[in-house]
Structure 1
């Protein structure tokens, strides 16, 4: 099984009324839930770990996950309210306003011994769950149990408007990166974390500390990856008509993990030995999945039958 641990929420995505006025539409989201949805829809056995409310919106989330074949037996249900995120598109980038105080996601608690990690090939973490102290501490405990047998995937998916203490946040992201086998981040996230540092320079640092694969996604400029054995690989982004970019990075992450899983390269030692051709194929597939996600509003990763010609 592959699992994603973190946020599950409702995005209110921008749309228009019949009269042309601005409006918003509720859509299930949350970066880590999106990754779980994406992996499951492509055909990987997938579970989600995190807090999901039993309220109206929480039921929407649970129904959406179940319809996408995501196992929720590892999730924690509570009567705390669901996190809400209002999205606005500015210069092609998604900007978020979060309502996250005392929510089910924010108050998730990891239950030691509840996950049979010997059956879990990879664990994905990241995003808003790691911003607050409690979420980071619970995720840290989960990673400690998972690391001996499971590959760790990490996408910081930074949300600067939630960060109150940037130096502490940067230190926390460095800590999680130091435990990750695979790190993916957008160019925007990279800029927030590392400023004007060249991509390749930071990639060398991350590979030197034990990470096997570092990937930077750059929107319509494609993605670049660095691997100690396979070297530097760049893939193009497909040309698509963009509805919005919500969930595109999560779809890329999900598809990359799925592709590594299908190639038998997701286990820690197997990932270290991946060939350049295998990695290029996985990255190209991930870019194709992200491109398709951009053609429809909200976080709506593709199903396996939609990508059958690409894998």
Structure 2
């Protein structure tokens, strides 16, 4: 089984009528839904409110065939994210996070023995006290030998001490089996200028891979996907054609669909990820890019079902 650990929240997304529509989301939550809709055996680890939003979040997990054995419930409110869209459909976020349920997650202890991979990222590794809880799970599962997968998915406005966060990020890398990061997030983490060439980003990514991860997947927006493999080779695939409505959940869909592909190809281990060849990576990235394109073609984080990718 795959476990996705982190926050579940509600995005308030602009509509054509100028109002804000609630959409269920949160980076890790979207990853779990994306993997579940692709029929991967996935469970979600989080704390979710008992308010009406929380009930809808849990119902949607069930509808996506995501197990909720590790979901904790509490009376704290659901986190809200107000989304602003730029002209190209990219999303900007402001958050209401004080005293919300997902921050209060408690340590579940060792995960079940059949858990082969655990995915982490986004707000859950920023906001305390939950961040320290998820960090302990990351260390423990890496020590146990599970494939640990990280997408930092930076929300800079919530990181009060960037230097401390960057140091903490560096401390995670030796415990991470597969790292996924966007070009923009890599620039922020490495303190590169926003217009730094991708070649400079790749230099940084090589250093990160040397610190621990078996491979690093790089999301490049309209330029497609790339990976720095276990042998140091860079494999790139072009983006799938799409009419973009918005990009909410696109990176999360990449993460979830990669996990589903690895599961389907019996590659949910650090060793298997490290030994993947160029052809396998091209197939995996093409699959993830096709899934993300479908998400971008509709409003909010709505990852595709398996049938939408021509699979049975």
Deviating 4+ runs (over 6 angstroms): none
> Which residue of structure 2 aligns with residue 135 of structure 1?
130
Structure 2 matches for 1:121-270, cutoff 5 A?
Answer: 121-147=116-142, 148-194=144-190, 195-196=192-193, 198-229=200-231, 231-270=233-272
- Report the Cα distance in structure 2 between the residues aligned to 1:56 and 1:256, rounded to whole angstroms: 31
Alignment root-mean-square deviation, CA: 1.4
Partner of 1:300, secondary structure, is coil
In structure 1, list runs of 5 or more residues that go unmatched: none
Distance apart, 1:111 and its partner CA: 2.1
Tell me, yes or no, if the aligned pair for 1:230 and 1:276 is still in contact at 8 Å.
no
> Which residue of structure 2 aligns with residue 33 of structure 1?
29
For residues 201-258 of structure 1, give each alpha carbon's deviation from its aligned partner in whole angstroms, at most 9, with x where no partner exists.
1122122122111111111110111012271100111111111000000001111111
Distance apart, 1:85 and its partner CA: 0.6
Partner of 2:129, secondary structure, is helix
- Report the Cα distance in structure 2 between the residues aligned to 1:177 and 1:154, rounded to whole angstroms: 9
Tell me, yes or no, if the aligned pair for 1:230 and 1:274 is still in contact at 8 Å.
no
Partner of 2:248, secondary structure, is coil
- Report the Cα distance in structure 1 between the residues aligned to 2:205 and 2:181, rounded to whole angstroms: 11
- TM-score, normalised to structure 1's length? 0.94
In structure 2, list runs of 5 or more residues that go unmatched: none
For residues 149-195 of structure 1, give each alpha carbon's deviation from its aligned partner in whole angstroms, at most 9, with x where no partner exists.
31000000000111111101111122223321111111221121111
Distance apart, 1:91 and its partner CA: 4.1
Partner of 1:133, secondary structure, is coil
Q: Greater shift after overlay, 201-210 or 282-291?
A: 201-210
- Alignment partner of 1:5 is 2:5: yes
